[in-house]
Amino acid sequence: AEVAPGAVHVPGWLSPARQRELVEACREWARGPVPLRHTRLPRGGVMSVRTVCVGWHWQPYRYTRTADDVNGARVVGFPGWLAELGRDALTAAYGDPGAGDGSGRPYAPDTALVNFYDGAARMGMHQDKDERSGAPVVSLSIGDTCVFRFGNTGNRGRPYTDVELASGDLFVFGGASRFAYHGVPGVRPGTADPALGLAGRLNVTLRETGLRD
């Protein structure tokens, strides 16, 4: 369903088997070289979600290859299968694996942000504008259902639309929606299938940083 121009929600896109594989990959990334942790903000705040990055490390508010704000380790490499998953996601949402910048080149995500939400975690309304690319962001939700708030491009307040994101849901944000404000006001604890073996919610976002070493 197209929620706004360029914002496409595909409920249940990931099969249960693919969800389990992604949970396993996230567990591995969470072990290191950079651990899953609460990101510290420059003004002293601490995010309630826990995050680990793949390919490029996001430290507020830039991408680096080493986690200078955590333990200084080099971020884990971005696997080819994850870029392929990103192209499959764009094909499912838009019918085309292209980056959508008019060049005809395929989408080539080079970073993934893995966010883990326990029952108390939230994410305030923000824009994602640290990437030097207008290519879409691919979001994959696994585990507990959350309320996702999709806003406008002008300010963090109304108008916005609340959408529930459940395990296996794909959401792609491109075109006019790429720089929209968005956030997660809360999760619904205990809504995940117990067979998944995950207490909480995982969100994996794929992006193009537009950076080169």
Does residue 123 touch ligand MD3 according to CB under 6 A?
yes
**Residue 120 CB: number of other CB atoms within 10 A?**
10
Please say which residue, 90 or 123, places its beta carbon nearer to ligand MD3: 123
In terms of Cα–Cα distance, which of 135, 213, 122 is closest to 173?
135
Q: Point out which span in 36-44, 96-104, 154-162, 177-185 binds ligand MD3 (CB under 6 A).
A: 177-185
List the one residue from 90, 184, 192, 198 that touches ligand MD3 (CB under 6 A): 184
Q: Does 93 bind ligand MD3 (CB under 6 A)?
A: no
The contact mask relative to Fe ion for 114-153 (x = CB under 5 A, - = no) is --------------x-------------------------
Nearer to ligand MD3, 78 or 171 (CB): 171
Q: From ligand MD3, Fe ion, none, which one binds at residue 140 (CB under 5 to 8 Å depending on kind)?
A: none
Instruction: State whether residue 90 is helix, strand or coil.
Output: helix
Q: Are 146 and 184 in contact (CB under 8 A)?
A: yes
Residue with smallest beta-carbon separation from Fe ion? 128
- Interatomic CA distance for residues 178 and 143, integer angstroms: 25
DSSP assignments along 117-157, one per residue: E-TT--EEEE----SS--PPEEEEEEES-EEEEE--SS-SS
Are 76 and 34 in contact by the 8 Å Cβ rule? The answer is yes
Binding at 118: pick from ligand MD3, Fe ion, none (beta carbon under 5-8 Å per type): none
Round to whole Å and give the CA distance between 88 and 100. Answer: 14
- Note the residues at the interface with ligand MD3 (CB under 6 A): 113, 115, 123, 128, 137, 139, 171, 173, 177-178, 180, 182, 184, 203, 205
